[in-house]
Amino acid sequence: MGVEQQLVRHLVGCRFEDIPPATIEKQKALFADTLGVAVGGIRASGVQAMIEVILETGGRPESTLLGQQDKVPSFLAAMGNSFMAHALDFDDMHEDAGIHANVCVVPAALAVAEKLGGVRGDALLTAVICGVDLACRMGVSIPLLRGWHATATLGVFGAAAAACKILTLDEAKTASALGIAYSQAAGNRQARLEGTMTKRVQVALAAKSGVLAALLAQKGLTGPMRIIEGDWGMLNLYADRDQKERRNSASAALVKDLGKRFMGDELSVKPYPCCKATHTVIHNVLALQKTHQLRAEDVEEVTVSVSNGAYQTVGRPFEIRTEPQVDAQFSIAYTVASALLAGKVGLDDFREETIRDPRRMALAKRVKVVVDPALREPSTTVVNLASTVEIKARNGNYVATAATAKGHADNPLTADEQFSKFLECFRFGLRESASTGRVRSIFDTLMSMEKIEDAEQITRLLECEK
């Protein structure tokens, strides 16, 4: 049996009862986190343009587009909601796969569930868990060539898998859907390098394409079966041939502990709304600030040592180009300045007027980022996230080092911290109009979503807060 057939058989056969309780609890928190950051992103830069294109396109009213009164076709709802969920760079990540998993899978699954109607919460959870697991397995196993954006390139398969589960497609149609998804697997890092919104767009396109692939397969359109090991499958077309060891073991790694180990368990939840490559840096700065009662005005210079991959992603001197929010999200210098000035890093730090604050701009210039050659990247698409921060202040010099930050699977957010983030997102996206009690009710419902009779109840809850 080929690796593709093993994956498909597992996707079709996996039941809610087969999934460990701890995995279910983790995914409910991730589901809530994804919807929270999507609501937070309703008014993020670029979202209105995306909404206008979707509404101008029109079509059958099937699924809810967050922040809108009217429903839209399911694949367009998946695209729009995925864009919103990724816009704040506040969504979860599998650090070893380099993938923001739920941002592709949750909007796709929810849109198809609402289109279909009558989908129970436990079925929705099962679909999302399977989709996330597939995308992360591919990210960890397949050594993509340098330059692919793994979230988009592989997220389309997770979105398609979840949509297939919701539609209860058989093995043949599920295999075709993944084959159709393969024809749409794309996404690169150039947009991130230039600080443009396409970084958000290509993740949304992956969610849309995953839904479209499942709907086409449902109607009988066929796709290639050998999408991993075929002559022009991913291992022969997308994979880096120089990573021979990983490439040779990719097929076995893809199905290792399949159905026993669900990789969503390993996802990190972000406590800071910015690129993951800034997080250990922020973690170090806040730890030094708390321990030594450092004031921003006492800081003379900050030196941050990171890997070359992290430097290329977030290490260059801070400058505002065409998209201030994106530039700030992908800047160590800016996030360090924000941490020192505010004693935290939150959504308000990424409003344009805050980004342009002269104090932040000046302090960011005192942050120097250097490459530590000892910090090697795990692969061509995964960045080494470790960092060392040295702060030179008037009253002394201080150093902190970290390999992981708060929110990592080994150091998760507490239940209170999860809700605080959820509330922050709602108030940011809805201009503080959301009451704490109402948001708590939504959060609690999502944290017991396996009991929901119809997944449309979830979107109705969010509609009430428009």
Q: Nearest 5°: phi and psi at 388?
A: -125, 135
For residues 412 and 414, what is the distance between their CA atoms, to the nearest angstrom?
6
**Are 357 and 324 within 8 A, CB to CB?**
no
pLDDT at position 465: 45
- Catalogue all structural domains in the chain, each as residue range(s) with its CATH number: 3-266 (1.10.4100.10), 276-402 (3.30.1330.120)
**Are 130 and 109 within 8 A, CB to CB?**
no
pLDDT digits (tens, 9 = 90+) for 96-121: 999 999 999 999 999 999 999 999 99
pLDDT below 70 — which residues of the chain?
A: 431-432, 464-466
Residues whose CB is less than 8 angstroms from the CB of residue 188 and which lie 6 or more positions away in sequence, other chains included: 147, 148, 149, 202
Query: In degrees to the nearest 10, what's the CA dihedral of 379, 384, 385, 386?
Result: 160
pLDDT at position 432: 67
Residues whose CB is less than 8 angstroms from the CB of residue 204 and which lie 6 or more positions away in sequence, other chains included: 50, 78, 79, 80, 82, 83, 86
For residues 76 and 72, what is the distance between their CA atoms, to the nearest angstrom?
7
**Are 137 and 150 within 8 A, CB to CB?**
no
For residues 394 and 385, what is the distance between their CA atoms, to the nearest angstrom?
29
pLDDT digits (tens, 9 = 90+) for 286-296: 999 999 999 99
pLDDT at position 67: 85
pLDDT at position 244: 86
